[in-house]
Structure 1
Amino acid sequence: MLTIERYIIGEVRRPVLMMVGFLTFVFASYSAERYLADAADGVLALSAVLSVVFYKVIIALEMLLPVGLYASVAIALGRLYSDSEVTAILASGSSPLRLYGAVLLIAAPLAVAVTLLSFYGRPWAYTQIYQLEQQSKSDLDVSHLLAQHFNLNDDNGRMILAQHIDPDTNRLLNALIYDPGEDKSRVFRAKVVTVTNPDPSGPELLLDSGTSYTLEHHLSKDTSLIYNQLKLHLKPIDPTDELKRKSIPSSLLAQSDEPADKAELQWRESRGLVAILMALLAVPLSRTAPRKGRFSALLPIALMFTVIFYGSNLCRTLVGNTAIPLIPGLWLVPLLMLAGLALFIARDMRWLTRRS
């Protein structure tokens, strides 16, 4: 490796480590705050918070690594442009392509890591999160229900209110349970509720001395029932289609004919290429005139990242809704990025020819 490439890689490598570390810390802190709030509200076991945050970080690295590299290339080259070091490199007879080549050398292994995370780490982490939430986010687990508190489960809309909770016997005293459904909603009042099975896949309750109300959504056949004892089977918590899709192994997605599955697969396939193209686009975007400051190009850099990020998400949604065909599908964004990069390189080569 030549001196110029080693120098540029060294200038980029140092801020990459700091940037990715900082972004990971911020994301982990935000996720921990969110899930600690769920634990405080009684809808998530405290013991599962750290594990969920860990898996969330693995998922986020798919985006944090390219963003960290993109920002680091822009900052490092912005300093070199500002201090006229790039001007000196080009004045010595070096081609502008050496700048792109140096960035490509550091971007290629990171893109491989992003591709592996997207293909294998991301679906594995989503699977682990779902299993943890199924095990610990049961709205019938009395160990994290709060007495005299509206315990609401956002996954199914079920609400539980109890005057007193006895974790040792799995009993709720003077309880009110609201269980919504597509066609009807049910409300149960009971002096004693015993949780016989808190498993989200088949929750069961035993209610003593109370009243049940069935409220029809479309008809006026509301009914009520006074009972001494009632065995109640509640609807299990099913994962959303989006969560199911994100946790499906890539090999199974490739066999599916569903447009949404194809969009998810294209998202995973394109992440590595997008990471490389983002880093290469940061080279011309970081260009600043001498003595103008290394941060003077941050606005176009930020705008470019916003367009790439939201453009990719928009294309995934449109492909999943069959609004745009599978070809080019999500590859439309990398193709546009590649076209823009080619224009920037052509401009740089014309600029070098004029100087010569």
Structure 2
Amino acid sequence: MIRILDRYVLAELLKPFLAGIGAFLVVMLSNTLYLYIGWIVEHGLSAATVGKLLLYSLPAIVVITLPVGYVMATMLVLGRLTRDSEVTALRASGVSLSRIIMPMLFGGILVSYMAFELNERLVPWTNSETVRMQREILKKTPAPLVKPNLFFAGTNNRYFYVDRVEKDVLNDVLIFDLSRSGFPQVITAKKAIWDKTFWMLYDGMMRKFTDKGYLNYEAKFKRMELQLDLSDNADYFGPKSIQEQSSGEAFEAIKKLKEQGQNVNGMLVDYHIKFSLPLATFFTSLLAVPMGIRFSKFGAFIGVACSIFVIFIWYVLYSFGRSLGASGTVMPLLAAWNQNIIFGLIGTAWLVGINRR
């Protein structure tokens, strides 16, 4: 009977679990598509390119939606079993409440394991592919990378300042070239136009300085070609993020940066999140189960509302902890795990209290 009970409860969880994942996937993918609308307009992305970007974003979104779907399934199934008096019948036949809910907690562990494997093996690759595609798109029309009235770093140790940006035209350009030792070479231009593989500067001036900072060369130019390699250069686009690396790769990257004396608080938080996020399904189910038992008599609508409330609180604690950890206010490990710890303690205490009744 016990094995039949386990199979029955897990089978009951499957449909609402998949439905919950599907619903939230649509919401999250719609939000991702909305973020790409600006790219579609500016870069003329084809439907195939947009579809590929959305496909690559799917694994990371699935990891986020798994706890949402499972909490909703748990609340709905517990509500139905209670309203149909199946829980009462099982308890009358000698099956304890803790044994009835055990398959639900086991399911939470199973889904958490699946999320961890997905987050460790597939998500880093798809995130890297997403970034690679974004870079390829930006390489074709790099002007949107340039922000007006701000210094930004280019390749070959060059720094740029632009007054105004109009599509592929930069107006009032200032360039500091630090590729040589000593004082930087300074280039100014009235405008710069992107020409597929390089910037063409117009109506400008080049100045070079001695080691003591005195001007020793000055020349005007009508046109000057400036090569700007927009390859996957880390100096231009930045190093791989923690989300693009497996846990092992991320650990080694953080270790090297720490040895160089850099602040790695934010990276450490993201590293620990690689473990805490996949396990969110289990810890949220620890709270969802007693909550489902408590509010089951109020109907399916209340079950869905409680599910949304649980996930909302989890993400508030997650976001709050992440911010505190990145700023160094809280230890990175605690910042990444605080929401799971809180949910685990409250859920366990609640379950013990219900089981004693």
| TM-score over 0.5 (shorter chain) | yes
Aligned to 1:205: 199
Give, in whole Å, the separation in 1 of the partners of 2:342 and 2:174. Answer: 46
Confirm whether residue 251 of structure 1 aligns to residue 248 of structure 2.
Answer: yes
| Greater percentage in helix | 2
Distance 1:121 1:92 in 2: 45
User: Cα deviations across residues 301-334 of structure 1 (Å, max 9, x unaligned)?
Assistant: 3322212112122222322222112453423322
Contact residue 81 and residue 289 of structure 1 kept, 8 A = no
Alignment partner, residue 112 of structure 1: 113
Post-superposition offset of 1:240: 5.3
Which residue, 263, 270, 274 being the options, matches 2:280?
274
Structure 1 residues 327 and 289, CA, compared in 2 at 3 Å: closer, same or farther?
A: closer
Q: Which residue of 2 aligns with 1:221?
A: none
**Matched-pair contact (CA < 8 Å) for 2:272–2:333:** no
* Residue identity matched to 1:267: I
Aligned to 1:127: 128
Equivalent pairs, count: 311
SS in structure 1 at match of 2:191: strand
- Please list, as runs of the form range in 1=range in 2, the aligned pairs for 1:11-160 lying within 5 A after superposition: 11-42=12-43, 47-138=48-139, 140=141, 152-153=144-145, 160=165
Classify the secondary structure of the residue corresponding to 1:272. Answer: coil
Q: For residue 296 of structure 1, what is the aligned residue in structure 2?
A: 302
In structure 2, relative to structure 1, the CA distance for the partners of 1:136 and 1:84 (3 Å cut) is same
2:330 alignment partner, SS class: coil
Cα distance in 2 for partners of 1:94, 1:196 equals 72
Q: Aligned AA for 2:83?
A: S
Tell me, in whole angstroms, the C-alpha distance in 2 between the residues paired with 1:91 and 1:185. 86
1:333 correspondence with 2:339: yes
C-alpha distance in structure 2 between counterparts of 1:2 and 1:101, whole Å: 11
Segments of structure 1 that go 5 or more residues without pairing to the other structure are 142-150, 163-171, 198-203, 215-224, 352-356
1:247 to 1:327, Cα distance in 2 relative to 1, 3 A: closer
Alignment check: 8 A CA contact 1:58 1:122 kept: yes
CA deviation profile, 1:99-128 (whole Å, cap 9, x unmatched): 331112322322111101222322222211
Match of 1:305 among 303, 311, 323: 311
Q: Give, as a single letter, the amino acid of the residue that structure 2 aligns with 1:205.
A: W
Equivalent of 1:229 in 202, 223, 227: 223
Q: 2:330 pairs with 324, 331, 342, which one?
A: 324
- The question of 1:343 aligning with 2:340 is answered no
Are the counterparts in 2 of residues 280 and 341 from structure 1 also a CA contact under 8 Å?
yes
TM-score normalised by L of structure 1? 0.74
Offset, 1:53: 0.9
SS state of the match for residue 323, structure 1? Answer: coil
In the aligned structure 2, how far is the partner of 1:86 from the partner of 1:341? 20
Question: Which residue identity is paired with 2:243?
Answer: K
CA distance in 2, matches of 1:330, 1:248: 17
**Unaligned 5+ runs, structure 2:** 153-160, 177-185, 207-218, 259-263
> Secondary structure at the residue paired with 1:70?
helix
Of 277-286 and 83-92, the range deviating more from structure 2 = 83-92
